[in-house]
Structure 1
Amino acid sequence: MKKFEFYAPTEIIFGPDTESRTGEMAKLYGANKVFVVYGGRSAKKSGLIDRVEKSIQDAGMTCMTSGGVVPNPLLSTAERMKKEAIDFGADFVLAVGGGSVIDTAKAVAIGVANPDVELWKFWTREVPLTKSLPFGTVLTIAAAGSEMSDTTVISNDVDFDPPTKRGLGSRWNRGKFAIMNPELTMTLPVWQIGAGAADIFMHTSERFFAPVQGNHLTDEIAAGVFRTIITFGPRGVANPDDYEAMSEIMWCGSISHNTITGLGAKGDTSREGDWACHQLGMAISAIYDSTHGATLSAVWPAWCRYVRDADLHRFAYFAYMVYGIKKEDDLMASEMAIENTIAFFRKLGMPVTLTELLGHRPTDEEIEALADECTYRNTRTIGSMKTLDRDAIIQIYKDAR
């Protein structure tokens, strides 16, 4: 087995009614003044925010709540909340929501710990991230896996129009705890459940398809996540009241993005995934404000067909591990697996082309604009299965039409 490093310190509290333990967990990790970040009206209307506030207060702490986080979370919101949290004197940040809320909470935690630094400078790597406020999560959407991940994504709407989207990976983005009650996900729109399942699939895919491979157990864990989300994702979309399905989806979301599905294939650390689909999708979200998981399902088939000749055996191995497809012809096996995955995305209600995603066939000019956003105005390449420059990215977007 190859060397690796694995750091996943987030404590998981999983099951019905676990949000009642929010105060207990925050206090355990040293909180006195908790700044609560949430999204829209549903968290308030459902009574969840009130229950969380009560739990915090019953544990002897004070709290301040701040809402307004939107999908594809905005830098302007994070900056506003940073100021509110500093004025409040927060020593702990709590996210109550899904990936966008958690990513915003991570940004707030970074901002409070570094009050004199403009937040965006961490995302551009102008300033290294060396500290952050502790934070935790009450998860309400199974998708991004941000509750256990070391990454956070923010769209800069302050300096760019349309906003530009960037990710930031750091050990300081690991939460102290995540409270995970699958029942909180049962009231989500089925579109959101489907998009979440697609995102979970893709977090595993991005690590599975890598130019350097190794560690059989890593692949087995990844394949288990693939098979589980393929089984239970459509079940959750068909019946959100199915506790078994929603709980399996929720736990898949965490496992898919806490790095365990990518250990031991990058020399001394962890598998360096491909991540091209995420970069392709983030450009779409930045320009069209599209749902993240849906952008990924829209580009994945075209990406597969463009890069698979770099390691056709890996795609055939995926076909066997995930779908039980075994063919002497690796190309045939890979194509069958791609078609099976397209069928899975369709069961989730997700688009598998850009036309389906956007509601219109994108023009060549639109595709060039996407490529410019994806390459940061032609200043970078993406991907590791194949290195993709602007021309390659344009071709994949065209193939995805």
Structure 2
Amino acid sequence: MENFEFYNPVRVVFGKGSHKEVGQKLAGHAKHVLLLNTGSSYLTTSGLLPDIKQSLTAQGIAFTELTGIVANPHFDKVEEGINLVKQNHIDFLLAVGGGSVIDTAKGIAGGANYTGDVWQDLYEGNVEITSALPLAVVLTIPASGSEVSNPSVITNTEIDHKRTFVSPLMYPQFSIIDPEIFYTLPKKQIAYGIADTTTHIFERYFTQTKHTELIDGLCESAMRTIMQIAPKVLADPTDYDAWSQIGLSATMAHNDVLGMGRQQNWDSHEIEHEVSGLYNIPHGAGMSVIMPAWMTYVYKANPDMFVQFAVNVMGVSLNARDENAVALEGITRLKKFYTNVLGIPTNLRGLGVPDQSQFEKMAKGAVRYQDGQDNTLGQFKPEHWQDVVNIYKLAF
């Protein structure tokens, strides 16, 4: 196990009707809130947004709305939000949504007080901010784990770059998770969200760090739970108990408890960001394609880890089979879970990527290759841009 320092300041408020408490939670901390959401009609017809607005009004908290946020959220919404903050003297952000809305809120929170170039310095660069606006979350889909994490992943559509801005100042102050809110989610969104959750665990689980038995077991338990419960929420989206397990799993998958004391990876996410940034593919769908391809490409760098996954999570029997066969069978069963249970394609063609013409461009973007500089990506098995091209080919 490696030395580590764990920090996660997010207060999680979980349970039925908890979204109605948002005004009370903000009372004394906010005077004028920027209320971010997608603008989808279901937020109103379901009663969710009216409940939240009523809760804010009851506490004398003014609000200005920012709507129209889309999947793979765009930088222009971050800019629009920063302008609204300055024009309306907004002192708190409230994101009502999933990862796209929350990541937009984080970008606004981190960029509102920054006087430089927000995109170039914070998303493309690594400038550290010294202040941020406070934010809170009412979660509408369990998937990204953004409700308990601090990155903001945003696409700049002018240059087709999808980049991540991270700061410890951008953790939400609190996040409300009410599983009843998830009842009206379309099945595709449920499936994409579940796939995304599994990959957040994988990025932490597959490691070269030794003596991590406790966290290995927690990761494996979370993965088994997700795979056991997923068919239940897909069959009955109003199953509160099943949603409670999925919702809490998504939160646990990304609050970094499962990353303690181990080297983490995250190259699969960087590889996928290039795909979804260019082709506007839902992130969870893209991860269900990239992750098995990455596994297939790198498993020989630590076959024992993949055998452990195959046996402890995917139920593969060791018998007399060699470790390569066991490891590959585990990956095959994961792909079957994505396709047969979640109904998601596991190749890029199935997601609408027409050919391999952009693979080199995407691979160089993933490793931040520039002016001949040969960077690598990942910790489990460091990959050059040529390796990333091979992963895209396996995924195609």
TM-score band, normalised by shorter chain: over 0.9
Could you list the per-position Cα deviations for residues 69-102 of structure 1 after superposition, in whole angstroms to 9, with x for gaps in the alignment? Answer: 1100111111001101221111111100000000
The answer to whether the 8 A contact 1:186-1:241 is kept is yes
Match 2:377 to one of 348, 370, 382: 382
SS at match of 1:323: coil
Q: How is 1:248-259 mapped onto 2 (pairs within 5 angstroms)? A: 248-259=245-256
The answer to whether the 8 A contact 2:369-2:385 is kept is no
The answer to whether the 8 A contact 1:316-1:334 is kept is yes
Q: Equivalent residue for 2:351?
A: 357
* Farther off after superposition, 347-356 or 189-198: 347-356
Q: How is 1:366-377 mapped onto 2 (pairs within 5 angstroms)? A: 366-377=358-369
* Farther off after superposition, 82-91 or 200-209: 82-91
Distance 1:280 1:50 in 2: 39
Could you list the per-position Cα deviations for residues 143-192 of structure 1 after superposition, in whole angstroms to 9, with x for gaps in the alignment? Answer: 0000001211011124x1xx200112221121110111111111111000
SS at match of 1:165: strand
Shift of 1:32: 1.8
Q: Equivalent residue for 1:15?
A: 15
| Partner AA of 1:117 in structure 2 | G
The answer to whether the 8 A contact 2:224-2:313 is kept is yes
SS at match of 1:136: strand
Q: Flag the 1:382–1:2 CA change in 2: closer, same or farther, 3 A.
A: closer
Q: How is 1:74-113 mapped onto 2 (pairs within 5 angstroms)? A: 74-113=74-113
Distance 2:61 2:293 in 1: 51
| Partner AA of 2:287 in structure 1 | L
Shift of 1:216: 2.1
Length, aligned pairs only: 388
Distance 1:87 1:45 in 2: 30
Could you list the per-position Cα deviations for residues 104-156 of structure 1 after superposition, in whole angstroms to 9, with x for gaps in the alignment? Answer: 01111112233x23321211235212221111000001100000012110111
Q: Equivalent residue for 2:299?
A: 308
1:398 aligns with 2:393: yes
SS at match of 2:238: coil
Q: How is 1:323-338 mapped onto 2 (pairs within 5 angstroms)? A: 323-327=314-318, 329-338=322-331
Could you list the per-position Cα deviations for residues 289-348 of structure 1 after superposition, in whole angstroms to 9, with x for gaps in the alignment? Answer: 000000011122221111001000011111222134342622122112112111111111
Q: Equivalent residue for 1:295?
A: 286
Q: Equivalent residue for 2:223?
A: 226
| CA RMSD across the alignment | 1.7
Q: How is 1:194-273 mapped onto 2 (pairs within 5 angstroms)? A: 194-265=191-262, 272-273=263-264
The answer to whether the 8 A contact 1:234-1:344 is kept is no
1:132 aligns with 2:124: no
- Structure 1 gap ranges (5+): 266-271
Match 1:169 to one of 162, 166, 170: 166
Write out the 4+ residue segments of structure 1 that deviate beyond 6 Å after TM superposition. none
| Partner AA of 1:118 in structure 2 | D
Q: How is 1:61-72 mapped onto 2 (pairs within 5 angstroms)? A: 61-72=61-72
Distance 1:295 1:323 in 2: 21
| Partner AA of 1:214 in structure 2 | H
Distance 1:220 1:141 in 2: 26
The answer to whether the 8 A contact 2:113-2:131 is kept is yes
Shift of 1:377: 4.5
TM-score, normalised to structure 2's length? 0.94
Shift of 1:258: 0.8
Distance 1:243 1:357 in 2: 31
